[in-house]
């Protein structure tokens, strides 16, 4: 039995593409939808009108749970435990976010024997014709029950497969959703002890980006970490 678990607050831009990339490789998909940011003190946010529950009705394998959380830590473990209270325990579970999309590499992951294995991502920038170079963990496969999950899908930092990667469209959102994402990050970063995002990032680095734009990292203290976007060519 193979499950996939998603968490989503915003991001219908690529959820369909993500679901389509895994739906034929799992038995059930569970989507945990939060209508509010984890940090409940966010104020004056741009409007957001996405309806994840309605969107997912066209997928027979998908079950949507409406749940609110106030902390990102260990969310996926809590989701897994809730699922197992109502459904049979899976042999394998793939933990995902709505901007993560698999190619043919998903066929290879189910043969992995380690209890936990995450996968680095090819992160597109604005469109899938550009990408940024960095090793950032993304989806995580668990064989059996997860021990714990950190802020992301994974538990063990830097435990990632050396060659299998998925695609990430987190910087390819609509202007409205990216503005919302940026504003939530600014307001919640101190509460979660994350690096403070640059206030000017949305307009200067993303909205008005050109191929010559440099220092694309959103975090103020690490803005030189991503020098610039580079052209992407899919492997033949």
Q: What is the pLDDT of residue 39?
A: 67
Q: Look at residues 171, 141, 173, 169 and name the one whose alpha carbon lies nearest to residue 154.
A: 141
Domains in the chain, please, with CATH? 2-120+135-171 (3.90.550), 175-231 (no CATH)
Decide if pLDDT at 125 tops 80. yes
Q: How confident is the model at residue 77 (pLDDT cuts 50, 70, 90)?
A: very high
Of residues 232 and 69, more confidence is placed in 232
Tokens standing for residue 40: 């409940």
Q: What is the pLDDT of residue 154?
A: 74
Q: What is the CA radius of gyration of the chain?
A: 17
Q: What is the dihedral of CA 199, 194, 82, 41, to 10 degrees?
A: -50
The mean of the pLDDT values for the chain is 91
Decide if pLDDT at 152 tops 80. no
Please give the model's pTM, rounded to 2 decimal places.
0.93
Tokens standing for residue 78: 């809590």
DSSP string, 200-225: TIIIIIIIT--TT-----SBGGGTTS
Stretch 14-38: mean pLDDT: 94
């Amino acid at each position: 039995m193979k499950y996939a678990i998603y968490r989503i607050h915003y991001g219908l831009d690529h959820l369909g593409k993500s679901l389509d990339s895994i739906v034929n490789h799992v038995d059930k998909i569970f989507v945990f939808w939060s209508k509010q940011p984890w940090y409940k003190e966010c104020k004056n946010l741009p409007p957001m009108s996405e309806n994840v529950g309605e969107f997912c009705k066209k997928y027979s394998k998908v079950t949507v749970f409406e749940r609110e959380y106030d902390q990102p830590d260990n969310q996926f473990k809590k989701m897994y435990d809730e699922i197992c209270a109502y459904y049979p325990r899976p042999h394998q579970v793939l933990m995902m976010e709505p901007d993560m999309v698999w190619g043919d590499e998903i066929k290879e992951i189910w043969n992995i024997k380690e209890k936990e294995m995450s996968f680095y991502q090819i992160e597109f920038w604005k469109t899938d014709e550009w990408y940024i170079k960095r090793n950032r963990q993304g989806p995580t496969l668990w064989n059996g029950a997860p021990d714990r999950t950190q802020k992301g899908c994974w538990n063990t930092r830097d435990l990632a497969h050396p060659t299998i990667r998925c695609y990430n469209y987190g910087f390819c959102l609509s202007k409205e959703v990216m503005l919302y994402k940026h504003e939530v990050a600014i307001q919640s970063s101190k509460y979660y002890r994350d690096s403070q995002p640059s206030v000017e990032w949305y307009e200067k680095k993303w909205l008005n980006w050109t191929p010559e734009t440099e220092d694309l990292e959103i975090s103020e203290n690490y803005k030189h970490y991503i020098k610039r976007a580079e052209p992407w060519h899919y492997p033949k």
